[in-house]
Amino acid sequence: MYSEKVMEHFNNPRNVGDMEDPSGAGEIGNVRCGDVTKVFIKVNGEGIIEDVRFRTFGCGAAIASSSMLTEMVKGKTVEEALKVSNLDVADELGGLPKQKMHCSNLAADALRAAIEDYMKKQEK
């Protein structure tokens, strides 16, 4: 049911783990299934995401899309990263089964939360 790309990311997820002193952290729970993703970002002086990490309690689609998303936004500015939607992630993964589309929201929303957290800290 999953594409090869999904399985590849699921079996070899990139950027897994926690981060010490992140510039921003976000945590999102999926209201439909109770699954949870955390995303941490390290942003440099030019507003570029230098490093990104995730941890996911979720299904294969959630893990693969978390992994793919982190790869897609690493090296981008926060503004660019905000433009990456869950649909982009699903596309990049070669598509997700329809009933699994909601799983890709998890990572995208957690990243958004991490960026908001980072921006809030910047304002202070």
Partner 1 sequence: MERIYLDHGATTPLDPRVLEAMIPFLKEDFGNPSSLHFFGREVKKQLEEAREKVAGILGAEPEEIIFTSGGTEADNLALGGVVRALREKGKHIITTAVEHHAVLDTCTALKKEGFDITILPVDCYGMVEPQHVKEAIREDTLLVSVIYGNNEVGTVQPLEEIGQITREKGVLLHTDAVQTVGNLPLEVEKLQVDLLALSAHKFYGPKGAGILYCRQGIEIDRMLYGGGQERGRRAGTENVPGIIGMARAMEIAVEEKEENTRRMEKLRDKLIEGLLSMEDVYLNGHPTRRLAGNVNASFEYIEGEALLLSLDYKGIAASSGSACSSGSMEPSHVLLAMGIPEQTAHGSVRFTLGRHTTEEEIDYVLEVVPEAVQKLRDMSSIYQGKGEGK
92 binds partner 1 (CB under 8 A): no
In the bound state with ligand FES, the residue whose beta carbon lies nearer, of 48 and 59, is: 59
27 binds partner 1 (CB under 8 A): yes
Give how far Cα 27 sits from Cα of 61, 71, 74, 98, Å. Answer: 17, 18, 18, 24
d(CA 107, CA 67): 9
35 binds partner 1 (CB under 8 A): yes
56 binds partner 1 (CB under 8 A): yes
Give how far Cα 80 sits from Cα of 7, 83, 112, Å. Answer: 27, 5, 11
Out of 42, 58, 84, 115, which residue is the one contacting ligand FES (CB under 6 A)?
A: 58
Q: Is 103 a catalytic residue?
A: yes
Out of 19, 35, 113, 118, which residue is the one contacting ligand FES (CB under 6 A)?
A: 35
